[in-house]
Amino acid sequence: MKKEVNYIEEHQWDKSVFEKGVAMPLTNEQKAHFDLLRSLIETKESQYERRRNEQKWDNFVEVLYPSLCHIAEIQGGYVKMNACEDTYFAELIYIGENLILDIDGVEGLADFNEILSAADSFSIVPEKEGFKMRFTFSLYDRVKIADMSERIAVIEKKMKQLATREE
């Protein structure tokens, strides 16, 4: 049995449409909706404060980063670590020509799985002579510091009213 699925042309067409950058003007209702949406998001976020999670931070610095360095040492890769002490966001970047994990005794699969499991997001991008993997991490806890549920309800009500006017 042989099966194929090809979405390349469709994706390239979609990409070309977005790359043209022709923006359609927003109506007054759409602008009002986006303003309310922004206000809703800001209000919801203002209820919380980010506090550094020491366990996640230590795991990132003491386990995940050295594990990726170990993979790079075996595979001949480059590793970069960025961790922001203000936002508690961090990333690991691996640049290499190839990545072979646990084939015929090559080490690294367990380390790679641990890093990937802990990451909030992961991407692979082709480079000139290989690829770049980017792992991102949130090293904080969200702690509720205020209750803005009444304000949120008011904004959501305004959004519903606006939506019913548009119909």
Quickly list H helices, 20-102: 28-46, 54-59, 65-75
Give yes or no for residue 17 having a pLDDT over 80. Answer: no
At residue 106, the pLDDT reads 58
Number of domains in the chain: 1
The answer as to whether 123 is a domain residue is: yes
Q: Which residue has the tokens 């002490």?
A: 85
Give yes or no for residue 3 having a pLDDT over 90. Answer: no
At residue 85, the pLDDT reads 87
What tens digit of pLDDT does each residue of 49-78 get?
999 999 999 999 999 999 999 989 888 899
Give yes or no for residue 104 having a pLDDT over 80. Answer: no
Structure tokens at 133: 């993997």
Assign 1 a pLDDT band (cuts: 50, 70, 90).
Answer: confident
Give yes or no for residue 131 having a pLDDT over 90. Answer: yes
Residue ranges making up the domain that contains 106: 54-138
The answer as to whether 42 is a domain residue is: no
CATH number at residue 127: 3.30.1360
Pick the closest to residue 125 from 92, 95, 100 (CA basis). Answer: 95
CB 77 within 8 A of CB 95: yes
The answer as to whether 68 is a domain residue is: yes
Give yes or no for residue 150 having a pLDDT over 60. Answer: yes
Measuring CA to CA, how many Å separate 6 from each of 2, 12, 14, 106, 146? Answer: 13, 11, 14, 33, 50
Can you tell me the distance from the alpha carbon of 89 to that of 50, in angstroms, rounded to the nearest whole number? Answer: 10
- The model's pTM is 0.71
Can you tell me the distance from the alpha carbon of 151 to that of 54, in angstroms, rounded to the nearest whole number? Answer: 33
Can you tell me the distance from the alpha carbon of 43 to that of 151, in angstroms, rounded to the nearest whole number? Answer: 8
